[in-house]
């Protein structure tokens, strides 16, 4: 099957399924679900098919470091949520993501340092995110009919844009930009508008917990992709990520923040 067809079919199916599951179990679980590399994973896969495992492995290291930028987005949005509307919060989070990306682009990405640093950064971000006295309650508010299609189109657009521009951006910058939380930002913004700041922070807290699986996926991919090849490399990275993701859900249900 042509790579373009895969991009146009696989990405919206994955994002649509995650959206429906998030609606069923609430904002925190919705945030946890999008901690999986639902967009960045397909980007890495298509880059490996087109540009080779060497380029994709280097991009995976950049994506791993870019997890710190997602944490910066979450903390900036979370702190502003009580004072500003969802639009201002998305803008503030995007600026935090951009600043973090600009700093990371100047640094050498050594896997022995990046992996532990990202995990520590996520733990710090969870602590920095403002806590609400009560858990965010789900509001029984129907989503507008264009909501789900808009999310699917946005995620697919990111995949198409980054895979098209990867050769011009280079492996490291491609990796750093690919984890921009398009889907998490959408979830948080809708939760903020429909249910209030506490619901948006619940999404972001779930996202930060879910990003440990994201970190595991890209760390494994960066380490083994060149040696194991595309099939075995992505299978191993996916297996480790799912195991970590399950552990994160267990912690969320136990109320660990």
Pair 155, 38: CB distance under 8 Å: yes
Which region among 10-14, 108-112, 218-222, 251-255 has the lowest average model confidence (pLDDT)? 251-255
Instruction: Locate the domains of the chain by residue range.
Output: 3-253
**Whole-angstrom Cα distance, residue 28 to residue 129?**
14
Residue 143, pLDDT score: 65
183-214 pLDDT tens trace: 788 888 888 987 889 989 999 999 999 999 99
Instruction: For 124-186, list the strands marked E by DSSP.
Output: none
pLDDT higher at 241 or 250: 241
| For helices 40-51 and 53-80, angle between their N-to-C axes, nearest 10 degrees | 160
Scanning the structure block, which residue is given the tokens 């480790």? 240
Pair 242, 67: CB distance under 8 Å: no
Most confident region among 1-5, 22-26, 68-72, 170-174 by mean pLDDT = 68-72
| Residue 8 in tokens | 């146009």
54-95 pLDDT tens trace: 999 888 988 899 899 999 999 999 999 988 899 999 999 999
Mean pLDDT, rounded, of the chain: 83
Going by pLDDT thresholds of 50, 70 and 90, the confidence category of residue 136 is very low
C-alpha angle 175/180/22, rounded to 5°? Answer: 125
Residue 128, pLDDT score: 93
Please state the separation of Cα 94 from the chain's center in Å: 13
Pair 163, 43: CB distance under 8 Å: yes
Instruction: Tell me how far apart the terminal alpha carbons of the chain are, to the nearest angstrom.
Output: 43
The alpha-carbon radius of gyration of the chain (Å, integer) is 17
pLDDT higher at 178 or 82: 82
pLDDT higher at 5 or 97: 97
Examine the pLDDT at 2 and tell me if it is beyond 50: no
Examine the pLDDT at 257 and tell me if it is beyond 50: no
Examine the pLDDT at 19 and tell me if it is beyond 50: yes
**Whole-angstrom Cα distance, residue 24 to residue 162?**
30
**Whole-angstrom Cα distance, residue 63 to residue 171?**
9
Residue 255, pLDDT score: 61
For 144-169, what is the mean pLDDT?
Answer: 75
Pair 152, 12: CB distance under 8 Å: yes
Residue 7, pLDDT score: 66
């Amino acid at each position: 099957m042509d790579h373009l067809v895969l991009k146009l079919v696989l990405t919206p199916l994955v994002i649509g399924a995650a959206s429906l599951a998030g609606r069923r179990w609430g904002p925190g679980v919705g945030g946890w679900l999008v901690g999986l590399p639902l967009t960045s994973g397909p980007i890495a896969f298509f880059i490996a098919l087109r540009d080779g495992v060497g380029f994709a492995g280097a991009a995976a290291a950049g994506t791993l470091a870019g997890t710190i930028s997602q944490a910066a987005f979450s903390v900036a949005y979370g702190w502003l949520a009580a004072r500003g509307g969802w639009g201002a919060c998305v803008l503030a989070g995007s600026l935090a993501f951009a600043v973090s990306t600009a700093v990371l682009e100047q640094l050498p990405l050594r896997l022995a340092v990046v992996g532990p640093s990202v995990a520590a950064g996520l733990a710090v971000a969870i602590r920095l995110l403002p806590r609400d006295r009560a858990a965010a309650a789900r509001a029984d508010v129907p989503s507008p009919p264009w909501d789900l299609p808009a999310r699917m189109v946005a995620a697919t657009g990111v995949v198409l844009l980054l895979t098209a521009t990867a050769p011009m951006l280079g492996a490291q910058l491609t990796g750093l930009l690919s984890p921009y939380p398009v889907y998490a930002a959408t979830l948080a913004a809708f939760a903020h508008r429909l249910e209030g700041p506490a619901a948006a922070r619940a999404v972001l807290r779930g996202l930060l917990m879910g990003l440990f699986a994201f970190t595991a996926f890209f760390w494994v991919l960066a380490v083994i992709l060149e040696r194991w090849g595309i099939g075995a490399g992505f299978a191993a990275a996916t297996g480790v990520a799912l195991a970590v993701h399950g552990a994160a859900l267990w912690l969320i249900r136990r109320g660990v923040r």
